[in-house]
Amino acid sequence: MTFDHSIKIAPSILAADFADFGRECEAIEAQGCDWVHVDVMDGHFVPNISFGPQMCKAIRPHIRGVMDVHLMISPVDAYLESLAEAGADIITIHAEAGPHLDRSLQYIRSLGAKAGVALNPSTPPEAIEYVLDRIDLVCVMTVNPGFGGQSFIDSQLPKIARLVEMIGEREIHIEIDGGVTTDTAGNCAAMGADVLVAGSAVFKGGSVAAPEVYGANIRAIRKAAQAAI
């Protein structure tokens, strides 16, 4: 993975057909997405269960580019090795998921993956102040994690700007996750975000039988973001 600040669209397969993940991943990549965002939920850290490391391993051969795994689980350390073995390029953990964030981030990098930290809406940006040199990505949650299709929380926009200041020259992606649409993507990009996760807004109206809808949705979000920079 090389680093750049260009806008990257990362569809969340939480909004895809769960019975057909392989072909769904192939369809969104063929339609021009940049990364594939994979949401792992445990029914404990968040009030929903999605799937685990075995599913990540099963879909990996269907993803040619970056597999961006977002762990909404606690505790997290016991699952990091199997997710790295499953082929995750980026493993993002929540700052709120345990007391030893620094150790978990070191562990992720030692496994050969890029390390990310996600911040819930109520968590201040300063939660990552002392781990900035251990991360490759910060994920600003613009909904409370657990479900797709929720409304974007506008109060998170100043958090993006603050993170840009804190990050300075470091090569750290700023990812936005939750409620990203053509209406909200512009503000995110204007504040300095470069990775836009979108579930509902990419998959709405399309299917593996009608993948061109995914392409149109991806292009519309990218256009809205780029127009704001």
* Interface residue with Zn ion, options 70, 159, 173, 222 (CB under 5 A): 70
Residue 177 annotated among the catalytic residues of the structure: yes
177 binds Zn ion (CB under 5 A): yes
What are the structure tokens assigned to 128, written together? Answer: 């990552």
Query: For ligand DX5, what does the binding mask look like between residues 15 and 54, x meaning CB under 6 A?
Result: x---------------------x-x---------------
Q: What angle do CA 228, 167, 201 make, to 5 degrees?
A: 40
Residue 136 annotated among the catalytic residues of the structure: no
Return the HEC string of the chain. Answer: CCCCCCCEEEEEHHHCCHHHHHHHHHHHHHCCCCEEEEEEEECCCCCCECCCHHHHHHHHHHCCCEEEEEEECCCCHHHHHHHHHCCCCEEEEECCCCCCHHHHHHHHHHCCCEEEEEECCCCCHHHHHHHHHHCCEEEEECCCCCCCCCCCCHHHHHHHHHHHHHHCCCCCEEEEECCCCCCCHHHHHHHCCCEEEECHHHHCCCECCECHHHHHHHHHHHHHHHHHC
Query: Which 158-217 residues touch ligand DX5, going by CB under 6 A?
Result: 177-180, 197-201
Query: For Zn ion, what does the binding mask look like between residues 109 and 128, x meaning CB under 5 A?
Result: --------------------
Q: Point out which span in 18-26, 92-100, 122-130, 141-149 binds ligand DX5 (CB under 6 A).
A: 141-149
The minimum distance between CB 205 and Zn ion, in angstroms, equals 21
Query: Which 73-132 residues touch ligand DX5, going by CB under 6 A?
Result: none
39 binds Zn ion (CB under 5 A): yes
Per annotation, catalytic residue among 68, 89, 136, 177: 177
175 binds Zn ion (CB under 5 A): no
Using CB atoms, what's the residue nearest to ligand DX5?
Answer: 199
Contacts with ligand DX5 by CB under 6 A lie at 12, 14-15, 37, 39, 70, 143, 145-146, 148-150, 177-180, 197-201
Contacts with Zn ion by CB under 5 A lie at 39, 70, 177
Which of the residues are catalytic? 39, 177
